[in-house]
Chains A and B, each alone.
Chain A
Amino acid sequence: AQKVTQAQTEISVVEKEDVTLDCVYETRDTTYYLFWYKQPPSGELVFLIRRNSFDEQNEISGRYSWNFQKSTSSFNFTITASQVVDSAVYFCALIYRGSTLGRLYFGRGTQLTVWP
């Protein structure tokens, strides 16, 4: 069973629009971490954020913000005033304590295209 679901395969927006990328996760563990990674067209993977299950406080970093809601098992990522440079594939990932200690589960990714 898929542990991380990114239902949006592709999203296209026009520059300056706000966009939210959805991530729904599945675990019965109470201790877990959630991650977001960015993969620009150049192919490298860039770490964006890590959030633990005990910290539901939303986080903002510049134009990026993350909304963590345990009640809906979601960890959504919003880009405000999107820019062309935000075009990338974005991955959500999960690790939980009940899994073997190093196993990280990725979603299938959301391709975001920002048009000028």
Chain B
Amino acid sequence: EAQVTQNPRYLITVTGKKLTVTCSQNMNHEYMSWYRQDPGLGLRQIYYSMNVEVTDKGDVPEGYKVSRKEKRNFPLILESPSPNQTSLYFCASSLQGLLAASSYNEQFFGPGTRLTVL
């Protein structure tokens, strides 16, 4: 089944304790992205990756790191989490970058990771 998976789905942690949220897709997609969703703010893009070893900042990259060593994986790293990073996180992927003209270039989202930083 074609899907984007995220782990963990739920995480409660404490300030300063490094954590990684994994994201994996099995559709051979080039483009992957991370978003956070906060009440009243909608979704905001954290980082995105156009392909392996190519990553770039979105709107709210501060406090996050990413890497794209393999096409299928795009982990989100919080080196020193703080309470303002408490949020719902979504990973997404699409066949190509979002400006690609292909009508099949839909963006698929993972199920979300609810992170609480105490």
Contacts and interface: CB of A to CB of B under 8 A. Distances in A.
Nearest to A2: B42
A106 B48 contact: no
Contact of A107 (B31, B42, B88, B103): B42
Given A43-B111, A44-B112, A102 B98 contact: yes
A108 B42 contact: yes
Interface string B80-118: 000000001010100001110101011111011000000
Interface in A75-116: 91, 93, 95, 97, 100-109
Contacts of A100: 56-57
Interface residues of B, number: 31
SS class of chain B's interface: helix, strand, loop or mixed? strand
A93 to B, nearest CB: 8
A33 interface: yes
A47 B56 CA distance: 23
B65 to A, nearest CB: 17
B97 A101 contact: yes
A101 B42 contact: no
A50 interface: yes
B42 A104 contact: no
A103 B59 contact: yes
A37 to B, nearest CB: 8
A102 B105 CA distance: 13
28 contacts: A6-B42, A37-B109, A43-B88, A43-B111, A43-B112, A45-B43, A45-B90, A45-B112, A47-B106, A47-B108, A47-B109, A100-B56, A101-B97, A101-B99, A102-B33, A102-B48, A102-B49, A102-B97, A103-B45, A103-B56, A103-B59, A104-B33, A104-B48, A104-B98, A105-B59, A106-B42, A108-B40, A108-B41
Interface of B: 31, 33, 35, 40-45, 48-50, 56-59, 88, 90, 92, 97-99, 101, 103, 105-109, 111-112
